[in-house]
Amino acid sequence: MTFEPDVLIAGAGPTGLMLAHELQLSGVDTVVVERLAERPGWSKALNLQPRTAELLELRGLLDRMRDDVVTTLPAGHFAGMELDYRELDTTQPWQLGIPQARVEAHLEAALASPVWRERTVEGFVQDDTGVTVTVDGSPVRARYLVGCDGGRSTVRKRAGVPFPGRDGRVSGVVADVVLADGPTGDWTLPALGTGPMTVLPLGDGAHRVLIAGAEQQVPRDTPITDDEVRRGLGEAHELVSVRWASRFTDATRLVERYREGRVLFAGDAAHIHLPAGGQGLNLGLQEAVNLGWKLAATVRGWAPDGLLDTYNAERHPVAARVLAAAQAQGVLMVPDPDVVALRGVVEELIRAAGPAMAERVAGLDVRYPIGGSHPLTGRRLPPVDRISVTGPGLGAGRGVLIGPSPVPRGWEDRVDHAKTNAALPAVLVRPDAHIAWVEGDGPLTEALARWFGGPVT
């Protein structure tokens, strides 16, 4: 009999692999289809923000990655303005510098089923019971299809869902290079529209350089010559060789909706933006964690009505906010005296707002529109010692009720119980570690039914 997965994921980038991992936790049959025979040696992204690191830690994946961490920076930045992470209320108050290719390799190694490599998702047709996906000319039937196939997503285009926004106005070059003047710890603010640049040591003798606006309005596929990189470096550094180079732009687009029937989108397939502040990969992994348990619950048959639609309701505004921040950073890096004045004002406001901007860039300030009057409702579970957990808990992608009373009868198969010594009211935590209910916000059983379906008797 032909194998029919529950979920087919297009694309084995970080988002697709993380989603596959989330679905695997709940025993959902998943196939990841990737058109590349193997992962390229170079990496676009180089960092994990605190919220992403928290989620990887929660799932037991962070430890696997530790040996590949090149830098641990106690700060993030907004348009080059440093944001102190040290006082943030998190187990991960830093940016972990780790190449995207290594993150992907570890996620892939954690999967029980191999990725279908050198196979391309070409299109699909969906009906009431599933999606017939064309992979290299042959049909593969699945119950759901998720497009994690990057910014030029075939799945998004075939679905016909609008991708509003604007094209790039400036372009830049990212290159991993060997420099004659050897390692440097320099960070130089990239000035869009002028040329150099950020220089970041990669830890293996090479450097990442971002040459912003070196050749403006150049089509993205135009080959990058060593001379172009050399011109971008200017007098500052002598180029020995270019290992890898690619163009980026400040094109900004966000998919109109993250779901079209049985087809969903995540990661760059849903949004593109200027790679400022180290957000794109992080956004994709966080989306995968939001979507994974909801899709698993839908496939397994216990999802309450509307659960899958909360993926769009919760994540679309978060992505819109990240894109707006990337656009704002693009403007704030223009080397014009008036913009320099604006930067000064923005920096003052950032400092006056305490940790607010650091929490935002770190991904720690997200609050989902769940309702409820308690300030914790909808927010991520802060670091808290959980003692005497009755089951595998959040690490296994299950819900957890933290508090003195046990889980009401009928939900024990989906929700575990934990006690804590912390001064925390009783809380119901979803598998993505966001708080769905706080003691005092209406009956617990209503919240359980809303997020975990009806009781099983």
Ligand X SMILES: Cc1cc2nc3c(=O)[nH]c(=O)nc-3n(C[C@H](O)[C@H](O)[C@H](O)COP(=O)(O)OP(=O)(O)OC[C@H]3O[C@@H](n4cnc5c(N)ncnc54)[C@H](O)[C@@H]3O)c2cc1C
Q: Which is nearer to ligand X, 61 or 303 (CB)?
A: 61
Binding mask 110-129 for ligand X (x = CB under 6 A): ----------xx--------
Residue 34 interacts with ligand X (CB under 6 A): yes or no:
yes
Considering CB under 6 A, how many residues would be counted as binding ligand X? 33
Pairing mode, strands 195-201 and 207-212: antiparallel
Minimum Å gap between C-beta 158 and ligand X is: 9
Nearer to ligand X (CB atom), residue 149 or residue 359:
149
Angle made by CA atoms 145, 392, 292, in degrees to the nearest 5: 15
In angstroms, the CA 297 to CA 413 distance is 12
Which of 104, 24, 36 lies closest to 293 in space, CA to CA?
Answer: 24
Q: Whole-angstrom Cα distance, residue 76 to residue 54? A: 16
Residue 168, interface with ligand X (CB under 6 A)?
Answer: no
Angle subtended by helix axes 14-25 and 280-300, to nearest 10? 30
Among 21, 44, 262, 434, binds ligand X (CB under 6 A): 44
* Residue 36 interacts with ligand X (CB under 6 A): yes or no: yes
Q: Is 15 in the site for ligand X (CB under 6 A)?
A: yes
Q: Is 275 in the site for ligand X (CB under 6 A)?
A: yes
- Evaluated on CA atoms 12, 108, 61, 411, the torsion sign reads positive
> In this complex, which beta carbon is closest to ligand X, that of residue 101 or of residue 236?
101
Q: Which two tokens stand for residue 245?
A: 């180079």
Among 281, 350, 400, 428, binds ligand X (CB under 6 A): 281
Question: In the complex, what is the shortest distance from the CB of residue 42 to ligand X, in angstroms, rounded to a whole number?
Answer: 10
Q: Which CB, 18 or 427, lies closer to ligand X?
A: 18
Nearest CA among 244, 269, 245 for reference residue 257: 269
Least Å from the CB of residue 368 to ligand X? 21
Amino acid at 185: G
Stretch that binds ligand X, among 40-48, 79-87, 302-310, 408-416 (CB under 6 A): 40-48
| Among 276-284, 291-299, 372-380, 395-403, the segment contacting ligand X (CB under 6 A) | 276-284
Question: How far, in whole angstroms, is CA 297 from its chain's centroid?
Answer: 21
Spatial CB neighbours of 174, under 8 Å, sequence gap ≥ 6: 44, 208, 209, 210, 211, 245, 246, 247, 248, 275
Nearest residue (CB) to ligand X, 163 versus 302 = 163
Cα 211 to Cα 194: distance, rounded to the nearest angstrom: 9
Query: Is residue 290 at the binding interface for ligand X, with CB under 6 A as the rule?
Result: no
Here's the x/- map for ligand X, 404-433, by CB under 6 A: it reads as: ------------------------------
Supply 295's token pair.
Answer: 């899709």
Q: How far, in Å, CA of 107 to CA of 96, rounded? A: 16
Strand partners, 178: 241
3-state SS, residue 181: coil
Question: Dihedral of CA 139/140/145/148: which sign?
Answer: negative
Contact 149, 68 (CB under 8 A): no
Our CB check for ligand X shows the closer of 149 and 260 to be 149
In the complex, least distance from residue 350 CB atom to ligand X, rounded to whole angstroms? 20
- Tokens 């080059």 correspond to 80
Minimum Å gap between C-beta 274 and ligand X is 9
Under 8 Å between Cβ of 100 and 106: no
Characterise 261 by phi-psi region: left (phi > 0), alpha (psi -120 to 50), beta (else).
left
**Quick check: 22 binds ligand X (CB under 6 A)?**
no
Considering beta carbons, is residue 16 or 130 the nearer one to ligand X?
A: 16
Residues 169-228 that bind ligand X (CB under 6 A): 174
- Complex with ligand X: residue 179 or 270, whichever CB lies closer: 270
- Dmax (CA) for the chain in angstroms is 74
At 28, phi and psi to the nearest 5?
A: -85, 130
Q: Binding segment for ligand X among 144-152, 215-223, 230-238, 425-433 (CB under 6 A)?
A: 144-152
Minimum distance between the CB of residue 21 and ligand X, rounded to whole angstroms? 13
If the CB atoms of residues 287 and 314 are measured against ligand X, the closer one turns out to be: 287
- Structure-token pair, residue 56: 């990887």
Cβ distance to ligand X smaller for residue 120 or 184? 120
> Can residue 274 be called a binding residue for ligand X (CB under 6 A)?
no
Q: Which is nearer to ligand X, 122 or 412 (CB)?
A: 122
Told to check if 284 binds ligand X by CB under 6 A, we report yes
Residue located via tokens 């299950």 = 398
Name which of 15 and 26 has its Cβ closer to ligand X. Answer: 15
Site string for ligand X, 240-269 (x = CB under 6 A): --------x------------------xx-
Task: State the residues that interact with ligand X by CB under 6 A.
Answer: 10-16, 33-36, 44-47, 100, 120-121, 148-150, 154, 174, 248, 267-268, 275, 278-282, 284
